[in-house]
Amino acid sequence: MKLSIVIPVYNEQQNMSILHKTLTAVLNKLPNQYEIIYVDDGSTDSTPKILTQIKASSKNTKVITFTRNFGQTPAFDAGFKEASGDIIITMDGDLQNDPRDIPLLLEKIKTFDVVSGWRYKRKDPFFTKKIPSLLSNYLVKLLSGVKIHDQGCSLKAYKKECIKDLELYGEMHRFIPLILQLKGYKIGEAKVSHHKRQFGKTKYNMKRLFKGFLDLAFIKFWFNFSNRPLHFFGTLGFGTMLLGIVIGIANIIFHLFVLKASALNVGPLMLLSVLLIILGIQFIVLGFLGEIMIRIYYKDKTPPYSIKK
């Protein structure tokens, strides 16, 4: 079985040569044929130059170069589309993942569709990395029931059929195991080693926790309603409208029969009722728009990035 190793890199000049050396040392010991695909995500340091040298000296290596920095998710996506292996392995290009874990992933993937690395002794800062990850993994478990300890570990192995219909947008690479499990694939875990970042800096900050939460909510929405948005917005709309009508009628009855008022005055409850009814109509119309949009979406899909080379 042929292996494809996909590695997104963004300004990792000091890591590239060491990574390539340790990776090829591991891969050469395996009986498998292999290819390494580096995706240069718009690096502005000497990473592109080093990658050109690596490519010139290694026939198994391909390099995809983005026109600018598009992010790790598009980089994975581009790498996946280029990969011709039966098993696709992804990892970070900053030496935090260890290529020596690859044989373990290959052993495990015999019984799963995807094997996700679990950095059980993670060497990252506690507050800015570990806590947000804990929270994010917990939310995934809560929302979807998917019990993976470490969604965010890049070191993963996939059978080629699972990534064939994987569509990645935004920063969704963090939730690939969740997406694949929701698609019905079997996900396994393997404890992998993790190293402190020695060279270069991390490309992410705490903002990703908030963004990650939005992504998670969207994934949940997408899987439940992507082919029927009208059901989501319609239910929401009818519920809101009904609440508005009930409040409105109750308010009228209260004025006419309890207070025995001669005229209806517009108080806060009446305003709320009108607001809810209008909101409800808006939601339903949004549902119609959603339906029109998914019909267009499913007809013509274009990737949200452009490739230079």
Looking at the Cβ atoms of 194 and 255, the one nearer to ligand UDP is 194
Looking at 47, 65, 96, 136, which residue binds Mg ion (CB under 5 A)? 96
Distance CA 245, CA 237 (A): 12
Q: Quick one: DSSP state of residue 130?
A: I
Q: Do the Cβ atoms of 7 and 78 come closer than 8 Å?
A: no
Q: Is 61 helix (H, G, I), strand (E, B) or coil?
A: strand
CB of 91 to ligand UDP, least distance (A): 8
CA distance 234 to 228: 10
Considering only the stretches 88-96, 101-109, 215-223, 233-241, report the one whose residues sit in contact with Mg ion under the rule CB under 5 A: 88-96
Q: Could you give the CA distance from residue 297 to residue 237 in angstroms, rounded to a whole number?
A: 23
* Closer CB to ligand UDP, 129 or 159, in the complex: 129
Q: What is the DSSP string of 262-297?
A: SS----HHHHHHHHHHHHHHHHHHHHHHHHHHHHHH
Q: Is the dihedral of CA 241, 246, 252, 254 positive or negative?
A: negative
- Cβ 174 to Mg ion, closest distance in Å? 13
- Smallest distance from ligand UDP to CB 129, Å: 7
Q: What does 12 bind: Mg ion, ligand UDP, none (CB cut-off 5 to 8 Å by kind)?
A: ligand UDP
Task: Assign 214 to helix, strand or coil.
Answer: helix
> Least separation, in Å, of the C-beta of 304 and Mg ion?
24
Which residues are within 8 A (CB) of 245 and not within 5 positions of it... i.e. 6 or more apart?
Answer: 273, 277
Options 13-21, 30-38, 91-99, 229-237: segment touching Mg ion (CB under 5 A): 91-99
Angle between helices 229-253 and 268-299 (to 10 degrees): 170
Residues near ligand UDP (CB under 6 A): 8-10, 12, 41, 69, 71-72, 75, 92-94, 96, 202-204
Smallest separation (angstroms) from ligand UDP to the CB of 301: 23
Among 40, 77, 94, 113, binds Mg ion (CB under 5 A): 94
We find the least distance from the C-beta atom of residue 191 to ligand UDP, in angstroms, to be 18
65 vs 96, which CB is nearer to ligand UDP? 96
Nearer to ligand UDP, 183 or 211 (CB): 211
Write the binding mask 43 to 82 for Mg ion: x where contact by CB under 5 A, - elsewhere: ----------------------------------------
Three-class DSSP category at 240 = helix
DSSP state for residue 12 in the 8-state scheme: -
Applying CB under 5 A, does 273 fall inside the site for Mg ion? Answer: no
The least distance separating Mg ion from the CB of residue 96, rounded to whole angstroms, comes to: 4
Distance CA 14, CA 301 (A): 37
From the list ligand UDP, Mg ion, none, partner contacted by residue 215 (C-beta under 5 to 8 A by kind): none
Cα 74 from chain centre: 10
Closest CA to 105 of 118, 96, 124, 123: 118
The alpha carbons of the chain give a radius of gyration, in whole angstroms, of 25
Nearer to ligand UDP, 72 or 144 (CB): 72
| Closest to ligand UDP by CB, 148 or 230 | 148
Where does this chain bind Mg ion (CB under 5 A)?
94, 96
